[in-house]
Amino acid sequence: MGFRLTPQDPTFYALFATSAQQLVEGARELTLLLGADADEREDILRRMHDIEAASDEATHEIIRRVAGSFVTPFDRADMHTLAIALEQCVDLMEAAVDLIVLYQVDEVLPRVAKQVEIISRMAELTVDAMPRMRSLKELGDYWVEVNRLENRANKQYRRMLADLFNVKKADPLTVMKHKDIIDALEATANGFEHVALTLEAIAVRES
């Protein structure tokens, strides 16, 4: 069992919590997009861009604090990796929103709503996990559940691919648009798992 002989700056936990909050905001906009009409879509995309910008700023603030602090809660490289992983999840959600709007896809594949629901749950779990970073041993249920959800997302992804490619005489351009969208959603789910695995690795090294 490891013991820390140096004080920890609680500011870092608040910064990671702020960064993770952008995940929930992004997932909400992604969910709203699925039922939005053409006029609403541009507003949702604009809000998503704002969320991505806020995520960037939160990441830069963490990195600045890490660089300027004599004492950090855990390894500096780990903190940098975690901050970037959180930001990438927002970037990937933004990509999915971007593609749906820019491709002018009127109706997404039927299973997309389920995939977005999984992503939203991953976002909620991640934002809930950030304040508990003070005691990394209490996060086991978090990364186990995120892994389970990522496995579900993988299955949904394969089914969506099958649904897409099994349509007879499908328009190739339409197929390409939908594949780009479901690829972005799959990458988002993988991104959330990467955050969880990063925290798990930190917990192992800090134990």
pLDDT digits (tens, 9 = 90+) for 126-153: 999 988 888 777 888 999 999 999 999 9
Token pair belonging to 86: 């959180």
**Considering the domain boundaries, does residue 100 fall inside one?**
yes
**Considering the domain boundaries, does residue 115 fall inside one?**
yes
How many structural domains is the chain composed of? 1
The CA–CA distances, whole Å, from 199 to 5, 80, 93, 112 equal 21, 12, 21, 28
**Considering the domain boundaries, does residue 199 fall inside one?**
yes
Point out the residues of the chain with pLDDT beneath 50.
1-7
Residue 10 confidence (pLDDT): 65
Residue-number span of the structural domain to which 161 is assigned: 11-206
Say which DSSP state 106 is in.
S
**Considering the domain boundaries, does residue 6 fall inside one?**
no
**Considering the domain boundaries, does residue 4 fall inside one?**
no
What's the rounded Cα separation, in Å, for the pair 34 and 120?
13
**Considering the domain boundaries, does residue 59 fall inside one?**
yes
Can you give the CATH number for the domain in which 157 is found?
A: 1.20.58.220
Residue 176 confidence (pLDDT): 95
Residue 118 confidence (pLDDT): 97
Closest of 99, 111, 88 to residue 158, by C-alpha = 111
Cβ contact 107:174 at 8 Å: no
Q: How far is CA 141 from the centre of its chain?
A: 18
